[in-house]
Amino acid sequence: MKYLLSLTAAAMLWTANPVRADQLDLSTITCKDFVSSSKENIGLILMWLEGFYTDQDAKPIVDFDKMQRDGQQLGEYCGKNPGHSLITAANDVMDK
C-alpha cells in the first residue's frame, strides 16, 4: 500500500511541474541571427515559415523541394542583408 501511495505521489509531483517551453519571436530575429542558428533551428523556422506563407485552403502537403529552394533563397537574401529582419526577408522571398 505504501508503494502505491508513493508511486501516486511521485506521479502527481511529476505532472504538477509546468513544462518549460522556449519561445522564439520571429519578428525580433535578424537575418544574421537566422543564418548563424543551428541547422536544427533553421529547419524548424523554415518549416514554420512554409506553413505561415501557405494559403489557408492549400492541400496539407509538405513540399520539401520548395522548402529547400525557399531556404536557399532566404539564405542568399540574408547573406546580402544581415541587418534585415527575418520576416522582411521572408516576405520578399516566400511571399511570391
Question: pLDDT tens for residues 84-96?
Answer: 999 999 999 986 6
Is there a contact between 60 and 45 (Cβ–Cβ < 8 Å)? no
- Predicted TM-score (pTM) of this structure: 0.72
Q: What is the DSSP string of 69-93?
A: HHHHHHHHHHHH-TTSBHHHHHHHH
How far is Cα 43 from Cα 45, in angstroms, rounded to an integer? Answer: 5
Residue 12 is assigned to a structural domain of this protein: no
Asked, for residue 4, whether it belongs to a domain, the answer is no
Q: How far apart are CA 11 and CA 5, in angstroms?
A: 10
Which range marks the domain in which residue 46 is found? 25-94
**Per the domain annotation, does 1 fall within a domain?**
no
CA-CA distance, 50 to 30, in Å (whole number)? 18
- Looking at the 3D structure of the chain, how many domains does it have? 1
Q: Does residue 17 sit within a domain? A: no
41 domain-assigned: yes
Q: Is 50 inside a domain boundary?
A: yes
Q: Which CATH number does the domain housing residue 81 bear?
A: 1.10.890.10
Residues 6-29 have pLDDT tens digits of 434 444 444 444 445 588 899 999
Q: Does residue 78 belong to any structural domain of this protein? A: yes
